Structure 1
Amino acid sequence: MVTDNGLTAPGFEIESDLSEMCLDCAEKAGVDGVGLAVFANDGTPGTVHATNELAARIEDLQFTTGEGPCVDAARTGSPVLVPNLNSTHHERWPAMARELTAAGVRAIFALPIRVGTVSFGSLDLHRLEPGPLSTRQMTDTLRTVDRAGELLLSAAGTHLEELLPPTTYRMVVHQAVGMVMVQLDVGVEDALLRLRAAAYAEGQSITELAADIVARRRRLAEEGP
């Protein structure tokens, strides 16, 4: 995007850089898709970039279900490498693993984006066939992780939430959580869990369900526990 004074807008520059970086990462790592998410101050993830529809779906699922390798990587600060998404992982991440398997994902790799000891996001790679990353592929991916951290920090300093598009789940879901809190007389965590459970049960994203609640097309309080 070019501004009125003829200069390229900074936001467009970083989006273009992240897009190119993720596509390059997917090619070098030999994977079918790459997603990049940062975590807001309340610990919820928001998609910054995804190379394809399935990668975007994976990023959305990690928030809808509240579990999975991507969430674990960002929360623990350690890589989560799953070269074969088998029954063991269905026990560890029951909702997320089922959805990934149904979508055709057979391997997933999540690497935390860190500054010092603080993790503020994750780079998530997936494959439609099982198999580990080679040493070279892992090295190239780690370089991408470092570059992603540099780009994100250079764009927003310590205000990482500014990188999340204003149309992401954060606004509408936070509004819906507030409404559910009032309707059910529960706290924030219970209201968010209720939204996640309802969205997962109905095969919706939590963003879609939240939008229905905010628009008063749905009212969880009337639907039983």
Structure 2
Amino acid sequence: MPLHLAVRRLIPTRGPESVDETLALIVAGAVASLPLVRRAGISYLERDGTVSSRAPSDAVVAELDALQNTLDQGPCLDAVRGGGPVTASDMSTSGVDRWPQFAPVAAQRGVLVACSLPLFNRHDGVVGALTLYGGHPEVVGEDGLSRAAVFASCASLALHGAHRVARMTTALANRDAIGQAKGILMERYGLSDDEAFARLVASSQHVNLKVHAVARWLIDDARGAGSRP
């Protein structure tokens, strides 16, 4: 698949994609459009600081991602932590010097070449890395790296859009929950809108939970399904 068509596929055509759907599109597009790339996967930086494997193209990538996390070494982790591209032209030689435990296993699985490119978000900085695997050194040659860098930049934009939609969706859901909870308090205790919100805030501070979490508990409680936080 030509690179420009793969990039176009990252643009939603049926409404905003979720983060997981966007990650899957990125991996599929990379394998389909970047020459000599046989496999790909994304190492995703979670909110708690851990790095998880997302949308691996096959079982080999899933295995290598898990191995990197177990050993705490490998190109994906280096790209996420360093914020720059990380390449290996031969896992059986130079790769062993950099990742002595990871590289031999990768080579045994037929993965001789790797290229990890960080994915960026305007608000959060590095949010993960797209890793491309192949068996030919041209994957990390000048032309291969240029194509991969262009694709990774477009992938970062697509992922930023998906994150933005996810945040907006969460914010709207939280606002709706708070609105419903205020309505319950206003009806139950004859409070004004401001008084109901103040009571939610006071409750959230008392139990050390977010206001929207208290609001959802109150909604569940009103429906007979709540358990006190």
- The partner residue of 1:21 within 26, 29, 37 is 26
1:32 aligned counterpart, secondary structure: strand
* Match status 1:151 vs 2:158: yes
- Residues 172-224 of structure 1, C-alpha deviation per residue, up to 9 Å, x if partnerless? xxxxxxxxxxxxxxxxxxxxxxxxxxxxxxxxxxxxxxxxxxxxxxxxxxxxx
1:127 positional shift: 0.9
- Residues 127-176 of structure 1, C-alpha deviation per residue, up to 9 Å, x if partnerless? 1344443444323322321232223332234989xxxxxxxxxxxxxxxx
Which TM-score applies when normalising by structure 1? Answer: 0.58
* Match status 1:69 vs 2:75: yes
1:14 positional shift: 4.7
Q: What is the alpha-carbon distance in structure 2 between the residues aligned to residue 152 and residue 24 of structure 1? A: 13
- Per the alignment, do residues 133 and 87 of structure 1 end up closer, same or farther by CA in structure 2, a change over 3 Å counting? closer
2:55 aligned counterpart, secondary structure: strand
* Match status 1:51 vs 2:57: yes
One-letter amino acid of the structure 1 residue matched with residue 117 of structure 2: L
- Per the alignment, do residues 51 and 144 of structure 1 end up closer, same or farther by CA in structure 2, a change over 3 Å counting? same
Taking only the aligned residue pairs, the percentage that are identical comes to 23
Task: Find the counterpart in structure 2 of residue 38 from structure 1.
Answer: 44
1:111 aligned counterpart, secondary structure: strand
Q: What is the alpha-carbon distance in structure 2 between the residues aligned to residue 49 and residue 97 of structure 1? A: 21
2:90 aligned counterpart, secondary structure: coil
Task: Find the counterpart in structure 2 of residue 120 from structure 1.
Answer: 127
Q: What is the alpha-carbon distance in structure 2 between the residues aligned to residue 14 and residue 114 of structure 1? A: 14
Task: Find the counterpart in structure 1 of residue 145 from structure 2.
Answer: 138
15-24 or 92-101, which deviates more: 15-24
1:50 aligned counterpart, secondary structure: coil
- Per the alignment, do residues 14 and 40 of structure 1 end up closer, same or farther by CA in structure 2, a change over 3 Å counting? closer
Task: Find the counterpart in structure 1 of residue 9 from structure 2.
Answer: none
Q: What is the alpha-carbon distance in structure 1 between the residues aligned to residue 60 and residue 150 of structure 2? A: 23
Alignment size in residue pairs: 152
1:9 positional shift: 8.9
- Residues 51-78 of structure 1, C-alpha deviation per residue, up to 9 Å, x if partnerless? 1221222222221111111111110111
2:73 aligned counterpart, secondary structure: coil
For structure 1, the 5+ residue unaligned runs are 1-7, 161-225
2:30 aligned counterpart, secondary structure: helix
Task: Find the counterpart in structure 1 of residue 219 from structure 2.
Answer: none
Runs of 4+ in structure 1 off by over 6 angstroms are none
Q: Is the 8 A contact 1:28 1:137 kept in 2?
A: no
CA RMSD of aligned residues (A): 2.8
1:126 positional shift: 0.6
1:17 positional shift: 4.0
Please tell me whether Structure 1 or Structure 2 has the larger radius of gyration of its CA atoms: 2
Q: Is the 8 A contact 1:26 1:34 kept in 2?
A: yes
* Match status 1:96 vs 2:102: yes
- The partner residue of 2:89 within 80, 83, 89 is 83
Q: What is the alpha-carbon distance in structure 2 between the residues aligned to residue 15 and residue 157 of structure 1? A: 13
